[in-house]
Amino acid sequence: MTKYQIRGGNPLHGEIEISGAKNAAVAIIPAALMVEGVCRIENVPQISDVTLILQILRELGANVRMVNRSTMDVDCSHIMNRRVPYDLARRIRASYYLVGALLGRFGWAEVPLPGGCDLGGRPVDQHIKGFVTMGAEVEVRNGLICARVPDGRLSGGQIYLDMVSVGATMNIMLAGTLAHGMTVIENAAKEPHIVDLANFLNSMGANIMGAGTDVIKIRGVDHLRGGTYSIIPDQIEAGTYMTAVASAGGEVLIRNVIPKHLDCISAKLIEMGVDIEEHDDAVLVRRYGPLNRVNVKTMPYPGFPTDMQPQIAAVLCQARGTSVLTEGVWENRYRYVDEFRRMGAHIQVDGKVAVIEGTRFLTGAPLHACDLRAGAAMVVAGLSAQGVTIIDGIHHIERGYEMLVEKLAAVGADIRIINTPDEDSQSQVG
Ligand code: UD1
């Protein structure tokens, strides 16, 4: 079994380069399905969610060619198959974007219900409402989303989202791109990756206006053509390393970021006593003194991101005083709390609220990464803990972080990958 071993206590010094945004990449790659021609996509992160989505595209008949480590050519001119393989799709949340893309291009899609992190209920009713408003017949049966348009092409429509949903906004945007007429999404999500998907589609010939505001208008076009596009830097990866510096102390220049996307995270860290200096495409993060308590509530962008909630909790565990953390997006995002308690953290959870009483130091412990961001938060906590932290379940972390161990080791963290005998096979032998 592969695990991370962290010996806490080293302050971090140096530079970390941020990779392309996971949540943009996992939407932009399926969007390439709608393009007749070659899409050259740059700044693609090398993470397992991207590997999976590329594997699905290949199964459908796409031609994918790596140009270099982070650049690829995707050619979906000759898609043969519109049935997405069950085993691949159920392992990733973003497989739902294949419905919007296939339905938009071919008027027909069969995609397994998505997987991804277990954060409580993850319904897709708003996605389906959008497709139905645009003239599709959608049925969920045998674990599949089966969607078809009787006359072969979706028609634009007006869709008001009942809640701000990133996935539904992007999926309806995909479906509307090749639809007949105008699609309007109201109460749309505004995350940076929504703007990035719109920019990608527009650079291939789409006509999308208003991405980044809460009303998005999509005037359908007949075709998308090939082109070149570079994915934005990952806001959450950058935020995670910012919390790593806050936790371990030290001074790190985090490069290849869009500082504006980090404002919501920087604001809270500054309130906690962390020093943050914005450059054009970098932020310098310094923490030498003690950390102050703060209250944090997660919200859709530009609010504090829910995908940074476990990482900020790791830092608040070490702040002076009591902080209140409120989860404003997901039903159940505190499954990691028991693991933090093993490190000596004092956290009480009541529904969506966690009350964190800061302690002077955490202690290393064996931990289980129960999902992607919780796993990243365990790394953040382990960097400052006294003693050794061993984290298993790291496949969750590798879904979203490219070379996490190498990037942290390069700034002085004592972190490495270790292999231990598989406990299941041991117990079977025993
Ligand atoms: C995306 C991100 C995830 C992030 C989340 C919120 C990807 C691949 N994942 O997930 O990392 O935590 O945005 O920023 O980009 N909801 C419904 N019905 C729907 C859709 C959503 O009730 O049809 C609810 C969800 O249960 C949740 C809230 O709306 O409570 C927000 O979900 P949404 O923004 O759709 O999250 P995802 O797109 O799945």
- List the domain range (segments joined by +) for residue 378: 2-19+233-425
- The count of structural domains within the chain is 2
**Ligand 1 atom at minimal distance to the Cα of residue 301:** 14
How does pLDDT run across 23-37, given as a tens digit for each residue?
A: 999 999 999 999 999
| Mutational pocket test of ligand 1: of 163, 265, 312, the residue with most ligand atoms within 8 Å of the beta carbon | 163
Read off φ and ψ for residue 93, nearest 5 degrees. Answer: -65, -45
**Cα–Cα distance measured from residue 204 to residue 197, given in angstroms and rounded to the nearest whole number:** 11
Q: What is the pLDDT of residue 117?
A: 58
Q: What is the pLDDT of residue 426?
A: 40
Do 187 and 305 sit in the same domain of this protein? no
Do 226 and 240 sit in the same domain of this protein? no
Do 71 and 106 sit in the same domain of this protein? yes
How does pLDDT run across 130-158, given as a tens digit for each residue?
A: 999 999 999 988 888 999 999 999 999 99
- Is the shortest distance between the CB of 131 and ligand 1 below 6 Å? no
Q: What is the pLDDT of residue 119?
A: 59
Question: Could you tell me how far CA 399 lies from the centroid of its own chain?
Answer: 9
Which residue, of 184, 201, 230, is where some domain finishes?
230
Residue 347 CA to ligand 1 centre (angstroms) = 25
Q: For residue 113, tell me if it sits in a domain.
A: yes
| Mutational pocket test of ligand 1: of 118, 329, 401, the residue with most ligand atoms within 8 Å of the beta carbon | 329
- At 14, the pLDDT band (50, 70, 90 cuts) reads very high
Q: For residue 80, tell me if it sits in a domain.
A: yes
pLDDT at 116 over 60: no
Do 139 and 86 sit in the same domain of this protein? yes
Rounded to an integer, the average pLDDT of 119-136 is 88
- Is the shortest distance between the CB of 53 and ligand 1 below 6 Å? no
Residue 150 CA to ligand 1 centre (angstroms) = 29
pLDDT at 121 over 70: no
The residue assigned the tokens 């060619």 is: 65
Q: Identify the residue whose C-alpha is closest to ligand 1 atom 35.
A: 165
Check if the beta carbon of residue 33 is closer than 8 Å to that of residue 60. yes
Instruction: Give the strands of the sheet with 137-141, arranged side by side.
Output: 108-112, 144-148, 137-141
**Cα–Cα distance measured from residue 58 to residue 358, given in angstroms and rounded to the nearest whole number:** 49
Rounded to an integer, the average pLDDT of 125-132 is 96
Nearest C-alpha neighbor of 69 from the set 85, 95, 47, 84: 47
Give Cβ neighbours of residue 311 (< 8 Å, ≥ 6 apart): 239, 240, 243, 373, 376, 377, 380
| Mutational pocket test of ligand 1: of 165, 301, 335, the residue with most ligand atoms within 8 Å of the beta carbon | 165
Check if the beta carbon of residue 92 is closer than 8 Å to that of residue 115. yes
Instruction: Tell me which of 113-122, 124-133, 232-241 is least confident.
Output: 113-122
Instruction: Tell me which of 13-27, 92-106, 252-266 is least confident.
Output: 92-106
Do 218 and 246 sit in the same domain of this protein? no
DSSP designation for 113: P
CATH number at residue 311: 3.65.10.10
How does pLDDT run across 373-388, given as a tens digit for each residue?
A: 999 999 999 999 999 9
Rounded to an integer, the average pLDDT of 418-423 is 80
- Is the shortest distance between the CB of 166 and ligand 1 below 6 Å? yes
pLDDT at 250 over 50: yes
pLDDT at 257 over 80: yes
Residue 174 CA to ligand 1 centre (angstroms) = 16
Please tell me the pTM assigned to this model: 0.96
Q: Identify the residue whose C-alpha is closest to ligand 1 atom 13.
A: 166
**Ligand 1 atom at minimal distance to the Cα of residue 166:** 34
- Is the shortest distance between the CB of 190 and ligand 1 below 6 Å? no
Q: Which amino acid is at 53?
A: I
pLDDT at 11 over 60: yes
- Is the shortest distance between the CB of 123 and ligand 1 below 6 Å? yes
The first and second tokens of residue 301, run together, are 């962008």
How does pLDDT run across 301-342, given as a tens digit for each residue?
A: 999 999 999 999 999 999 999 999 999 999 889 999 999 999
Q: For residue 274, tell me if it sits in a domain.
A: yes
Which residue, of 230, 254, 285, is where some domain finishes?
230
Rounded to an integer, the average pLDDT of 81-96 is 83
Q: What is the pLDDT of residue 183?
A: 98
Nearest C-alpha neighbor of 331 from the set 68, 118, 40: 118
The first and second tokens of residue 242, run together, are 């910012």
How does pLDDT run across 58-75, given as a tens digit for each residue?
A: 999 999 999 999 999 999
Rounded to an integer, the average pLDDT of 357-377 is 96
**Ligand 1 atom at minimal distance to the Cα of residue 191:** 14
Residue 124 CA to ligand 1 centre (angstroms) = 9
Which residue, of 207, 230, 253, is where some domain finishes?
230
Do 201 and 245 sit in the same domain of this protein? no
Q: Which amino acid is at 94?
A: A
- Is the shortest distance between the CB of 167 and ligand 1 below 6 Å? yes
The first and second tokens of residue 43, run together, are 């700044």
Rounded to an integer, the average pLDDT of 256-284 is 97
Q: Is 29 exposed, middle or buried (0-12, 13-18, 19+ CB in 10 A)?
A: buried
Check if the beta carbon of residue 343 is closer than 8 Å to that of residue 365. yes
